[in-house]
């Protein structure tokens, strides 16, 4: 009876172990193949003494097989689990690495964003400055344009004035025929050789210069004589301005000359008069001349 009870307990124990294995509760320290074998053999030894039937032995063999299978499966799952754990650890490590990489990226992105904002602010400030400068330049430009058109107007006016300003200048010689005079009356010398007569204010037919405008004029004359005394006068509207007289002896030459700035009204007349009793000489060397020009109108 005692061995029968022990066998029953063993069966219960085996059944419990199997249930534990199926629910995943068995660990490394649980039943090994040799443990089970020795226990069964122990039971068999006691059973031999009490004559247990061979049917039960066969069943025990089957149970033993089941237990071995189960333990093998357990081992399998254990190594699978270890593998899974390793994989899990690896994944964790990669995740941690990823996270720290992510943090670095975020920091760089933040820095980039800040930089972009700063650049934007800087750009806006510079743009504002540029706009202000542009406005200022536009204003200056407007002022300059006004001044320029005023200047252009003045230049045009000056050009017109300059174009309208009378141009008066003459230079004439008396004659190529040698002596003129002496005569019994004074005569106006008619300088007939025209070097220049801009404005045609000098008349070679009368010998008179007539002022075309009111203004300041410059006049100059030279008279040459040989073997005869010379006396020529500069006249302004019938009034003597100057007398130029010189006496010469035999085989002598003489030159008289003078120059004046005169203020004339329009129509005033200027001419050179040879006094009665005196002579004046000229030839192709242009020794006796009369010149004048307008300094400026007034």
Binding region for ligand NAG (CB under 6 A): 103, 106-107, 110, 224, 253-255, 287
Considering just the CA atoms, what is the radius of gyration of the chain in Å? 72
Nearest distance from residue 102's CB to ligand NAG, in Å?
10
Please report how close the Cβ of residue 28 comes to ligand NAG at its closest, in angstroms: 46
Of 112 and 154, which has the nearer Cβ to ligand NAG? 112
CB-wise, 174 or 254, nearer to ligand NAG?
A: 254
Judged by beta carbon, residue 261 or residue 285, the one nearer ligand NAG is 285
Residue 106 CB, shortest distance to ligand NAG, in Å, is: 5
DSSP 61-126: HHHHHHHHHHHHHHHHHHHHHHHHHHHHHHHHHHHHHHHHHHHHHHHHHHHHHHHHHHHHHHHHHH
Half-sphere exposure of 20 (CA within 13 A, CB side): 14
| Minimum CB distance to ligand NAG, residue 175 (Å) | 14
Q: Is 32 helix (H, G, I), strand (E, B) or coil?
A: coil
Helix (H, G, I), strand (E, B) or coil at 213: coil
Minimum CB distance to ligand NAG smaller for 47 or for 282: 282
Min dist. Cβ of residue 111 to ligand NAG (A): 8
**How many CB atoms sit inside 10 A of residue 70's CB?**
20
Nearer to ligand NAG, 47 or 288 (CB): 288
Element counts in the chain: helices (H) and strands (E): 3, 13
């Amino acid at each position: 009876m005692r061995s029968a009870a022990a066998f029953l307990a063993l069966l219960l124990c085996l059944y419990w172990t199997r249930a534990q294995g199926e629910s995943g509760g068995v660990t490394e320290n649980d039943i090994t193949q040799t443990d089970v074998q020795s226990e069964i053999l122990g039971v068999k030894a006691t059973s031999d003494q009490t004559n247990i039937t061979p049917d039960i032995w066969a069943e025990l063999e089957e149970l033993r097989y089941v237990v071995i299978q189960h333990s093998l499966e357990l081992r399998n799952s254990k190594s699978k689990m270890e593998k899974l754990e390793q994989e899990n650890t690896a994944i964790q490590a990669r995740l941690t690495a990823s996270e720290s990489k992510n943090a670095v990226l975020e920091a760089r992105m933040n820095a980039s964003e800040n930089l972009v904002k700063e650049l934007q602010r800087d750009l806006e400030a510079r743009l504002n400055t540029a706009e202000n400068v542009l406005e200022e330049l536009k204003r200056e430009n407007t002022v300059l344009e006004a001044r320029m058109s005023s200047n252009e107007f003045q230049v045009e006016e000056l050009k017109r004035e300059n174009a309208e300003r009378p141009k008066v200048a003459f230079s004439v010689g008396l004659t190529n025929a040698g002596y003129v005079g002496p005569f019994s009356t004074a005569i106006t010398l008619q300088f007939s050789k025209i070097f220049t007569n801009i404005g045609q204010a000098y008349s070679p037919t009368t010998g008179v210069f007539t002022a075309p405008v009111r203004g300041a004029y410059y006049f100059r004359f030279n008279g040459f004589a040989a073997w005869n005394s010379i006396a020529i006068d500069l006249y302004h509207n019938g009034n003597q301005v100057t007398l130029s007289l010189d006496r010469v002896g035999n085989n002598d030459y003489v030159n008289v000359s003078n120059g004046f700035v005169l203020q004339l009204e329009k129509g005033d007349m200027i001419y050179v008069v040879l006094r009665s009793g005196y002579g004046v000489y000229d030839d192709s060397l242009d020794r006796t001349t009369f010149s004048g020009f307008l300094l400026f109108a007034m």
